[in-house]
C-alpha cells in the first residue's frame, strides 16, 4: 500500500540547490581572500596571556637559588581547596624553611590566594597552561619542581590598569 505523500508544488527558484551552493561557495571564497584569521598555529604560534592569568604554581628563589619560602604557613591556611601541604623545619643556619612543600595542582582551584597572602613573595601562580603529565602523581608538585619552573608568573592585577577600571 502506497503511502500518500503529498507533494507540494513549489517554484523551481525556491527549491533549487544551485542558489544555496553558490551562497555557500561565496562565503568560502570570501574567507579565502579575506585575511581575517581566527585559527592560531599552535604550537608554532602562541596567544599572549593576560598578565593576570592564574595557572600552575612556581616558587621564586633568592639569589643563591634557595626557595624564598620561610614556611610561615599562611598559604595552607588561606587555601580554600586545601591543596598545599607544608611541613616547616630548620636548615643548617637555623633558618626556618619548608621541609615539605607540595601543591596538588588537581585539587587547586587557581584562585591565587596563596600568591596574595605570601609575605615573602615566594609562591606564585604562573602564566602557564601547558600541564600534561604521564601520571596523576605528576600533578603533585614538590618544592624542587616548583623551584625549577621558569615560566612567567601572575601579576595579580593589570599593571596598566591596577584598579581594574
Q: Which residue stretch of 1-9, 53-61, 86-94, 127-135 sits at the interface with another protein (rule: CB under 8 A)? A: 86-94
Q: Which residue stretch of 10-18, 24-32, 93-101, 144-152 sits at the interface with another protein (rule: CB under 8 A)? A: 93-101
Grid cell locating 153: 608568573
15 DSSP β-pair partners: none
* Rounded distance between C-alpha atoms, residue 150 and residue 60, angstroms: 9
CB of 70 or CB of 111, closer to another protein: 70
Q: Min. distance of Cβ 111 from another protein in angstroms?
A: 20
CB of 51 or CB of 104, closer to another protein: 104
# binding residues, another protein (CB under 8 A): 14
Q: Which of 102, 104, 116, 120 binds another protein (CB under 8 A)?
A: 120
Which among 101, 51, 98 has a CA at the least distance from the CA of 79?
101
Q: Taking the CB of residue 143, how many other CB atoms lie within 10 A of it?
A: 18
Using DSSP's 3-state secondary structure scheme, residue 145 falls into helix
CB of 43 or CB of 94, closer to another protein: 94
| Site map 38..77 versus another protein, x via CB under 8 A | --------------------------------xxxxx--x
CB of 49 or CB of 78, closer to another protein: 78
By CB under 8 A, residue 116 contacts another protein = no
Q: Which residue stretch of 30-38, 49-57, 83-91, 129-137 sits at the interface with another protein (rule: CB under 8 A)? A: 83-91
* Rounded distance between C-alpha atoms, residue 87 and residue 108, angstroms: 18
Rg (CA), the chain: 28
Could you give the residue ranges of the DSSP H alpha helices within the chain? 12-15, 17-33, 74-78, 113-117, 143-148
| Beta strand pairing call for 123-126 and 84-90 | unpaired
Residues forming contacts to another protein in the complex (CB under 8 A) are: 70-74, 77, 88-90, 94-96, 119-120
Amino acid at each position: 500500500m502506497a503511502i500518500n505523500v503529498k507533494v507540494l508544488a513549489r517554484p523551481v527558484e525556491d527549491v533549487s540547490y544551485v542558489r544555496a551552493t553558490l551562497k555557500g561557495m561565496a562565503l568560502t571564497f570570501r574567507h579565502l581572500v579575506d585575511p581575517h584569521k581566527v585559527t592560531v598555529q599552535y604550537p608554532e604560534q602562541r596567544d599572549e596571556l593576560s598578565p593576570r592569568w592564574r595557572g600552575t604554581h612556581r616558587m621564586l628563589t633568592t639569589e643563591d637559588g634557595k626557595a624564598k619560602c620561610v614556611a610561615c604557613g599562611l598559604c595552607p591556611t588561606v587555601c580554600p581547596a586545601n591543596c598545599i601541604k607544608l611541613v616547616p623545619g630548620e636548615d643548617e643556619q637555623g633558618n626556618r624553611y619548608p621541609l615539605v612543600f607540595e601543591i596538588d595542582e588537581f585539587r587547586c582551584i587557581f584562585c591565587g590566594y596563596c600568591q596574595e597572602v605570601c609575605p615573602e613573595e615566594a609562591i606564585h601562580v604562573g602564566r602557564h597552561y601547558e600541564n600534561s603529565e604521564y601520571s596523576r602523581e605528576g600533578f603533585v608538585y614538590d618544592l624542587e619542581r616548583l623551584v625549577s619552573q621558569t615560566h612567567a608568573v601572575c601579576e595579580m592585577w593589570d599593571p596598566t590598569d591596577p584598579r581594574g577600571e
